[in-house]
Amino acid sequence: MTHAAHASHHYTSTGLDNRKIAIWAFIGSECLFFGSLISTYLIYKNRSLVGPFPHEAWTNPQTGETVKAILDIPVTSASTFVLLMSSLFMVLAHAAVVRGDRKYSKIWLVSTALAGTVFLGFQAYEFTSFVHEGLTLKTNLFGSSFFILTGFHGAHVTAGVIWLLTLFFIDLKRGLRPTDAINVDLCALYWHFVDVVWIAIFTLIYLIP
Amino acid sequence: MAVEHSSESDRVASAEPHHTHGDAGHTHPDWSTYKWVALILTVITVVEVWIFYTPFAETRLFIPSLLTMSAAKFAIVVMFYMHLKYDAKLFRALFTGPLLIGVIVIISLLFLFGQLNFFLE
């Protein structure tokens, strides 16, 4: 094995690539991070003194105006489906890089980034409509914990989209070779983690009343 | 000799069995597995949303059902898309260890703040 080829691998005494160990350790720490945000949301659940509320209508005693249940399940279901499909695109992008298929690696990488962007668009629409309905970060306990939790998730999706686009432009410029598969694998692990966090959020926040 | 493939699925299927992790030597799932995983995830999500709008949502089984389906989706993505089912045990430990701690912390905090009954009722 040449020095250059040897240097491209980052093996440790475990026989495992240290970059993969690092990303799994990072994902493990993210479990605790999102665990704290989810527990905060659940502790504050149904303890808001004023509306708007997530699952029931609320009448403002000062204005007499009634605000319907604020969560829009059909819209969020659509964004959940988009994020689930992005995970499929991601594994296909990784498979394409592994087999050195430059055409499909580009197609699937940009598809994943696009799906992530669409998800962020749904989130921007949701946040905007909530603010128009009168729910902000400062309105009540639901607003605070909801925007913090889903906002941090959205920030993670944004970071993932930037990572995906970086890989896409590298692929455009010089092409991702099978030896670069580890770089796509690291991004894929991060992206799938963002997906599984949303799986938990979708059930705990949106579907459980 | 180059082999011509009729579709993306053929390409993936023919390429995947040769794909192993250099570090661990584990084979990844093929296109067929990915396709089925995506289908199962979609079906579970549809069922989750569907029961939300049915009278089943008023029953005591609604929340346990949702949590079970969510856990199933979580496990499927982690096992097949993140390849944890096929990867080294160290990766499994690095993920499941903090995940278990996180779940225990959530349950403990819900218990301490009197919110656990909400899920058990």
**How confident is the model over A101-159, as pLDDT tens digits?**
889 999 999 999 999 999 999 999 999 999 998 899 998 999 999 999 999 999 999 99
Query: For residue B50, which amino acid is it?
Result: W
In a domain, A74, yes or no: yes
In a domain, A143, yes or no: yes
Domain ranges of chain B: 28-87, 88-121
pLDDT score for A68: 86
Query: For residue A83, which amino acid is it?
Result: L
- CA-CA distances (angstroms) from residue B26 to A16, A145, B81, B113? 12, 41, 14, 44
Query: What is the ipTM for the molecules in this complex?
Result: 0.87
Helix/strand/coil (H, E, C) string of chain B?
CCCCCCCHHHHHHHHHHHCECCCCCCECCCHHHHHHHHHHHHHHHHHHHHHHCCHHHHCCCHHHHHHHHHHHHHHHHHHHHCCCCCCCHHHHHHHHHHHHHHHHHHHHHHHHCCCHHHHHC
Query: Considering only CB atoms, which chain A residues are within 8 Å of B89?
Result: none
pTM reported for the whole predicted model: 0.87
Which A positions 101-160 lie with beta carbon below 8 A of chain B? 101, 104
pLDDT tens sequence across B51-61: 999 999 989 89
Contact with chain A for residue B49, Cβ under 8 A: yes
Query: Considering only CB atoms, which chain A residues are within 8 Å of B66?
Result: 203, 207-208
Look at A2 and B96; give whichever has higher pLDDT: B96
The mean of the pLDDT values for chain B is 80
Contact with chain B for residue A38, Cβ under 8 A: yes
In a domain, A45, yes or no: yes
**For strand A66-67 and strand A58-59, is the pairing parallel, antiparallel, or unpaired?**
antiparallel
The mean of the pLDDT values for chain A is 90
In a domain, A61, yes or no: no
Contact with chain A for residue B101, Cβ under 8 A: yes
Domain residue limits at A136: 18-53+68-207
pLDDT score for A207: 94
| Cross-chain CB nearest to B49 (options A28, A42, A73) | A73
Q: Is the dihedral of CA B70, B120, B63, B65 positive or negative?
A: positive
Which residue in A170, A160, A181, A175 sits closest to A115, CA to CA? A160
Share of chain A above pLDDT 70, in %: 94
Is pLDDT above 80 for B21? Answer: no
Is pLDDT above 90 for A17? Answer: no
Query: Considering only CB atoms, which chain A residues are within 8 Å of B86?
Result: none
Give the mean pLDDT of A13-40.
92
Q: Are A179 and A96 in contact (CB under 8 A)?
A: no
In a domain, A12, yes or no: no
Q: Is the dihedral of CA A88, A91, A94, A95 positive or negative?
A: negative
Is pLDDT above 50 for A168? Answer: yes
pLDDT score for A74: 94
pLDDT score for B121: 63
pLDDT score for B2: 38
Q: Are B57 and A207 in contact (CB under 8 A)?
A: no
pLDDT tens sequence across A52-101: 888 888 888 888 888 888 899 999 999 999 999 999 999 999 999 999 88
How sure is the predictor about B82, in pLDDT bands with cuts at 50, 70 and 90?
A: very high
Is pLDDT above 80 for B113? Answer: yes
How sure is the predictor about A41, in pLDDT bands with cuts at 50, 70 and 90?
A: very high
Contact with chain A for residue B66, Cβ under 8 A: yes
Q: Are B50 and B69 in contact (CB under 8 A)?
A: no
> For the stretch B11-38, what's the b/e string if a residue is b when 16 or more beta carbons lie within 10 angstroms of its beta carbon?
bbbebbeebebebbeeebbbbeebbebb
CATH of the domain at A94: 1.20.120.80
pLDDT score for A8: 53
Joined together, the tokens standing for residue A209 give 């009343």
In a domain, A153, yes or no: yes
- CA-CA distances (angstroms) from residue A182 to A94, A98, A177, B88? 9, 9, 10, 15
Query: For residue B82, which amino acid is it?
Result: M
User: Which letter does DSSP use for residue A178 in this model?
Assistant: G
Q: Would you call A85 and B38 a contact, using CB atoms and an 8 Å cutoff?
A: yes
Long-range contacts of A128-131, Cβ-Cβ distance < 8 Å, separation of 24 or more: A129/A72, A130/A52, A130/A70
Separation of CA A155 from chain center: 8
Contact with chain B for residue A85, Cβ under 8 A: yes
Query: Considering only CB atoms, which chain A residues are within 8 Å of B69?
Result: 203
In a domain, A60, yes or no: no
Rounded to the nearest angstrom, the minimum Cα separation between B35 and chain A is: 8
Q: Number of folded domains in chain A? A: 1
Q: Would you call B18 and A99 a contact, using CB atoms and an 8 Å cutoff?
A: yes
Q: How far apart are CA B100 and CA B104, in angstroms?
A: 6
Separation of CA A113 from chain center: 11
